[in-house]
Structure 1
Amino acid sequence: MFTTGSKIQAFTISKLAAILLIAGSFSLMTSSSYGQSAGAQARIDLTEEMVNATNSFLSSLSQFQRNSASYEFNDEERLNWHFIPRDRKGVPFKSMDDAQRKSASELIQTFFSAEGYAKTENVRSLELVLAEIEVNGRFDRDPDLYFITVFGEPGLENDWALRYEGHHLAFNWTFVGGQGVSSSPQFFGSNPAEVRQGPRIGTRVLSTEEDLARSLVMSMDVIQARKAIINEEAPSDIFTAAKKEVGPLEYSGLSYYSMNTNQKAMLMSLIEELASSQPRAIADERLSVIRQSGLAGIKFLWIGSTARGEGHYFRVQGPGFLIEYDNTQNNNNHVHLVWRDYMGDFGRDLIRMHYDAVALEHGPGHRH
């Protein structure tokens, strides 16, 4: 149970998404020896923990709740994500008894790093702060209106997915044929971005991401800033919204190649901060894929004022991924932060490669 004055520690490591592909011909490691060693075993162990935690949670539910929580893997609901207060499919904390809440918490902790889990709890707790600010607002600001939804039958060799979503959290993990796990789209929101009254005054759940990005842009010389800052007026929200599939945005900004050593370190710290809400095995693989794709292809872009408290937007865009951050709503005190993977959101690349491999082994007419 959350209370408005609760002392929930604000962890600073965030989370957002990409792909874990380690086994066999789907490996994205630099060498097969690595893929078959510690990294591969960590992925296998994590997947088993995720399967067990999900099945344990499902078994704790009543038949009615389980029916509400469960969908077929190919149901179009799997792609129906968003980050606004609205009705959702699945089982919310609000409908769970104490034992089910405990099982749900254990499930969610399995899918996050310790820091990432703490951040999700901080985001949920802000619902009560927001309720006090709005006073009789049109939305039900309730930290228990966060939902768990399962698609397919969890199993080590199965195609299945888990979604954890509410107003300002949207996380999606997709498992395909035992070959890997996709962990995007990944979304954190924070409203307020900074608590400015009451017992939790000064709380900034997504402070590290904002501060790292601002430090990076403020460190730039005039020539660099002209490339990085493309407009003085920030957009009203992230450009990709809650689209089911995204591609690269306008490829503007300052490239990693054009940064000095300290700036490169700040940019990588920002990316690592966002990746690290995932369990270690997923975060490490996400960063490995980025490095293998080439750091020189990464660009950093800023729109809006660089002064704290004023509207601003930034993005980090690489060959295969996109990070967007916007803080303009509610008088520049409402953050949306997303990680997207162009090919891998909702496991699209895993699914395609898996079925290509099945067709190669059994022929194109094989039914899977």
Structure 2
Amino acid sequence: MKFKSIFLMVGCSLFMAISSSQELNALAAEFLNTLDPDLKSITIFDLDDKERLNLHFVPIKRKGPTFHDFNDEQKEAAMALLRESLSSEGFRKTKEIMALEDVLLEIEGGKFKMPDGSPGRDALNYHFCVFNDPATQQFWGWRFEGHHISFNFVASSGKIVASTPSFLGSNPAIVREGAQKGKEVLKMETQLGFAMVNSLSKDQLDKALFSEKAPREIFTTNKQVVTNLDPPGISYAELDKNQKEALEKLLMVYLDNYESGFSQSLMDKINTAGMNELSFAWAGSLVPGKGHYYRIQNPVILIEYDNTQNNANHVHTAVRDLTNDFGRDLLKEHYKESHKH
């Protein structure tokens, strides 16, 4: 089955039927209730299981069922949960990144294989894991992950309280041939990054540019714990009005992937930490076609973008909440309060 058939099956009518006020818990419970005991046994983990921190964005063997394991009803329920956990823009990017697996399959002629001999490019090979039972536990989480996608959610009282670490990648960054020719899934991340760096004066660029060569990969990779990176680059306070607006616009491209409530809460944290604490750093080429990298950070957030592989036509992006990745801080406070009682 080709990738696009999943989304024909879970089309507009399904999502229009889902009330925007419906709790996430209900959608998660509906998904789990579609699973038979065998599938459920490989889907549900404890919230404190080490698997929850097992972050990856490359084609590897993962735990949790995939679309290959689901019937039509299960696919619909799984995608409904994903759709409700993201913004419409985040969901669009996710669908289109999955569809790029078919592009890679065609480009490479199916030569890339997993260690077990299965296809290395597979638009159905995306895994669902649920951590704790949302019907009985105050805090629960879930993960959607596969090649170039990793979303890690924690929820409480039917609302998402953590959505990071998150990773979105695109290979090809721009599809050069075939049925999807011209497709550029992470277009705004690229275009607004170049607009930002090329708006800088020479003196400003001296502060922002930390290397003439872009790194081959984002620095945070799949680390479970990350911190701010050095050098920080040029600060928001050192930008003029138009440049500040440009940086804010670039920042929102990443935050707008999330469900609106979480996106707003993350923006509130960034504002509380202070916009003047925000910084922008660049490495590599100032024009498309050659390796380039940038990051945006302040004490609470770190965003990375890298495009160096495959002749600078292969994008990796990541967002890390430095105060609450994997919901760590919220869960720490929850357990602390529980022990008091």
User: TM-score higher than 0.5 here?
Assistant: yes
Identify the residue that residue 194 of structure 2 maps to in structure 1: 214
Identify the residue that residue 16 of structure 2 maps to in structure 1: none
Does 2:126 correspond to 1:152? no
Amino acid paired to 2:48? N
Q: Is the 8 A contact 1:177 1:354 kept in 2?
A: no
For these two proteins, the number of residue pairs brought into alignment is 324
Identify the residue that residue 268 of structure 2 maps to in structure 1: 288
Does 2:294 correspond to 1:351? no
TM-score, normalising length: structure 1: 0.84
The alpha-carbon deviation at position 357 of structure 1 amounts to 2.5
Amino acid paired to 1:62? D
Aligned counterpart in structure 2 of residue 163 of structure 1, from 127, 143, 146: 143
Does 2:182 correspond to 1:182? no
Amino acid paired to 1:126? L
Q: Deviations over 1:33-82 (max 9, x none)?
A: xxxxxxxxxxxx86x62111111001111111111111111110010010
Does 2:32 correspond to 1:58? yes
The alpha-carbon deviation at position 156 of structure 1 amounts to 7.8
How far, CA to CA, are the matches of 1:93 and 1:51 in structure 2? 21
Q: Is the 8 A contact 2:23 2:159 kept in 1?
A: no
Structure 2 residue runs without a partner (length 5+): 9-19, 114-119
Aligned counterpart in structure 2 of residue 67 of structure 1, from 41, 46, 55: 41
- After superposition, where does 1:35-46 map in structure 2 within 5 Å? none
Q: What is the alpha-carbon root mean square deviation over aligned residues?
A: 2.2
SS class of match (1:302)? strand
Identify the residue that residue 247 of structure 1 maps to in structure 2: 227
Does 2:77 correspond to 1:103? yes
Identify the residue that residue 242 of structure 2 maps to in structure 1: 262
Identify the residue that residue 182 of structure 2 maps to in structure 1: 202
The alpha-carbon deviation at position 158 of structure 1 amounts to 1.6
Q: Deviations over 1:317-338 (max 9, x none)?
A: 1111100111111111111100
How far, CA to CA, are the matches of 1:339 and 1:3 in structure 2? 26
Q: Is the 8 A contact 1:160 1:174 kept in 2?
A: yes
How far, CA to CA, are the matches of 1:104 and 1:270 in structure 2? 30
Identify the residue that residue 207 of structure 2 maps to in structure 1: 227
Identify the residue that residue 335 of structure 1 maps to in structure 2: 315
Q: 1:83 to 1:286 in 2, by over 3 A?
A: same
Q: Deviations over 1:315-368 (max 9, x none)?
A: 0011111001111111111111000112211111001111233344x2xxxxxx
The alpha-carbon deviation at position 91 of structure 1 amounts to 1.2
Identify the residue that residue 314 of structure 1 maps to in structure 2: 294
How far, CA to CA, are the matches of 1:219 and 1:179 in structure 2? 39
Identify the residue that residue 114 of structure 1 maps to in structure 2: 88
Amino acid paired to 2:85? F
Structure 1 residue runs without a partner (length 5+): 9-44, 363-368
Does 2:253 correspond to 1:298? no
TM-score, normalising length: structure 2: 0.90
Q: 1:157 to 1:68 in 2, by over 3 A?
A: closer
Identify the residue that residue 94 of structure 1 maps to in structure 2: 68
How far, CA to CA, are the matches of 1:331 and 1:357 in structure 2? 51
How far, CA to CA, are the matches of 1:111 and 1:274 in structure 2? 15
The alpha-carbon deviation at position 283 of structure 1 amounts to 0.9
How far, CA to CA, are the matches of 2:200 and 2:141 in structure 1? 42
The alpha-carbon deviation at position 180 of structure 1 amounts to 6.4
Does 2:98 correspond to 1:124? yes
How far, CA to CA, are the matches of 2:92 and 2:237 in structure 1? 34
The alpha-carbon deviation at position 136 of structure 1 amounts to 2.8
Identify the residue that residue 273 of structure 1 maps to in structure 2: 253
The alpha-carbon deviation at position 251 of structure 1 amounts to 3.7
SS class of match (2:267)? helix
SS class of match (2:333)? helix
Q: 1:129 to 1:339 in 2, by over 3 A?
A: same
How far, CA to CA, are the matches of 2:128 and 2:198 in structure 1? 40
Q: Is the 8 A contact 1:131 1:141 kept in 2?
A: yes
How far, CA to CA, are the matches of 2:3 and 2:42 in structure 1? 28
SS class of match (2:98)? helix
Identify the residue that residue 80 of structure 1 maps to in structure 2: 54
Identify the residue that residue 138 of structure 1 maps to in structure 2: 112
Q: Deviations over 1:153-172 (max 9, x none)?
A: 11485221100001111000
SS class of match (1:150)? strand
Q: Is the 8 A contact 2:112 2:121 kept in 1?
A: no
How far, CA to CA, are the matches of 2:197 and 2:262 in structure 1? 28
Identity, % of aligned pairs?
Answer: 39
